[in-house]
Amino acid sequence: MAAKDFPHFVDSGVRIDRLVVGPVDNNVFIIRCTNTGEAVLLDAANEHEKLLEVCRATGVRKVLTTHGHWDHIQAVEAVRDAGIDVGIAAADAEMLPAYDFIIEDDTVYEVGDLRIRTRHTPGHTPGSTSFLVEGTPLCFTGDTLFPGGPGNTSLSGADFEEIITSIDRSLFTLAPDTLVLPGHGLDTTIGNERPHLQEWVDRGW
């Protein structure tokens, strides 16, 4: 059974639910507009029966994918078979078994009254994408930024200098109280992580 905490975050107009699924404890987030009830799912990672149950309960019709690594896409075929559209950045598209649309940089997806803006944050993978919910303190970073540093760059297609640039220029420009919701593990904030950037550069990971 997937671990879950409902809700994970609630603010005016937005509710975030989180499921923790699969063998490496992936965070799967449901971003919901509380005014209209419309919702999207972030990363169809694993445990497809549980994800489909939540999608049916919340009316999810679209999946936004942070990146194409295997642990974030195990439920893609099942959700597509259920009629839910899956999106991925072009640079990671070949990692998916199939997809329905390409996620472009600096694009807004409207979910009810919410506006979810994309930020291309390559380095962990070439197509890694973060998602900001405009008008809220929420930033979903996939495996780009975690408490304590950047995501793994030892894998094929990854680049440490690139992920540092993505974090510095695309994420650390956000307000200090911005809540970082990563693809695994606990939340953090931009303010907690920004002072440690040079430490990460010096250690090289």
Kindly indicate the confidence band of residue 3, based on its pLDDT and cuts at 50, 70 and 90: low
> Residue range 156-184: average pLDDT?
98
- Please write the tens of the pLDDT for every residue from 81-112: 999 999 999 999 999 999 999 999 999 999 99
> Residue range 41-55: average pLDDT?
97
Res 171: pLDDT: 98
Could you say which DSSP state residue 144 is in? Answer: S
d(CA 151, CA 149): 7
Res 6: pLDDT: 72
Q: In what order do the strands lie in the sheet with 3-11?
A: 3-11, 14-21, 26-33, 39-42, 62-64, 85-88, 101-102
Mean pLDDT over the full length of the chain: 96
Which architecture characterizes domain 3-203 according to CATH?
Answer: 4-Layer Sandwich (3.60)
- Count Cβ atoms below 10 Å from residue 86 Cβ, excluding itself: 24
- Please write the tens of the pLDDT for every residue from 74-83: 999 999 999 9
Kindly indicate the confidence band of residue 1, based on its pLDDT and cuts at 50, 70 and 90: very low
